[in-house]
Amino acid sequence: MSQILLLTNNPLNEQAFEVRLRQLGHEVFTSKLMINLCLSQNSKHDIIHMFDLIILSETLANAEVKELLETLSTCATPILRKSDERLEETDLEEWKEQGLTEWIVSQPTLEVLREKLSCEKVRKEGNIVFLPKAEDKRPMSAFSLSGGEVKLFELLFQQKKTVPREEICLRMWNRGKSNSSMSQLSVMVKHLKDKLAGQGIEGPIIETCWGRGYRLHESVYDQVYLDNADEKLVKQQ
């Protein structure tokens, strides 16, 4: 059983969905007022850590969802988006790059909802991210990455700011913004995030700044430093 926070602009809209969650044995707290708490940059989100899962209702505009994902990025709590819309895989990857864990339809069958909530990427132990001490930083060469992934990481690491997608494509492949290059970049960002997370990097890793580009989360600089990674990387093509 999980404690679920359901954020919505209209609690009455969520009654049928709440029933489904409770049928699966979950405890549900539905709130409109807590949206402002989650959007507060100064909030430490102590209350948020009480929940195992956050679900964002289809009553929230996409702009609200993007803002919530940005402010909740320091929490390890999985975040799901409930919607009447079914997404294409590429669109779903865009949302996941911003911090979304999973996408669920607003009227799922009980079986589909059960599996969405029980998948490994949703069932995380604990909600607080503990970062290593500065002296525990690891060299870039210690990670198993492809040459392209190392190049992308170093580019973001050295900039220490949001890097536009077009600039990344030019520096990575010497070509400008196009559907194919944007798709290739999106896939590479996802693979890099997954690999670093799988090799022990804690917390958010790469942030998607909607309409602008990508940047490394500040927590990464507390865990990794650049060395002669190009000479020692293990390629996984």
134-232 folds as Arc Repressor Mutant, subunit A (1.10.10)
Per-residue tens of pLDDT for the chain, all 237 residues: 678 999 999 999 999 999 999 999 899 999 998 898 887 755 545 677 788 889 999 999 999 998 888 887 666 778 899 998 887 777 777 888 788 888 888 888 888 888 888 754 454 443 334 444 445 688 988 899 998 999 999 999 998 888 988 899 999 988 766 778 888 888 899 899 889 988 888 877 888 876 678 888 888 888 898 876 444 443 333
Calculate the CA 224 to chain-centre distance: 19
Q: What are the residues facing 81 on neighbouring strands?
A: 56, 103
Q: What is the DSSP secondary structure assignment for residue 6, as one 8-state letter?
A: E
Q: Where are the domains of the chain?
A: 3-118, 134-232
Q: Please name the amino acid found at residue 26.
A: H
Angstrom distances, CA of residue 127 to CA of 49, 72, 73, 78, 237: 6, 11, 12, 9, 34
What is the C-alpha separation between 186 and 113, in angstroms, rounded? 27
Q: Please name the amino acid found at residue 138.
A: R
Query: Residue 208 is encoded by which pair of tokens?
Result: 């998607």
Mean pLDDT of the chain: 81
pLDDT at 161: 86
pLDDT at 119: 55
pLDDT at 134: 46
Q: What angle do CA 51, 54, 60 make, to 5 degrees?
A: 145
What is the C-alpha separation between 191 and 177, in angstroms, rounded? 20
pTM over 0.75: no
Contacts of 209 (CB under 8 A, 6+ apart): 162, 215
pLDDT at 12: 94
Architecture of the domain delimited by 3-118:
3-Layer(aba) Sandwich (3.40)
DSSP states along 104-138: EESS--HHHHHHHHHSTTT--S-S---PPPGGG-E
pLDDT at 152: 93
pLDDT at 234: 39
Please choose, from the candidates 122, 146, 127, 123, the residue with its C-alpha nearest in 3D space to the C-alpha of residue 196. Answer: 146
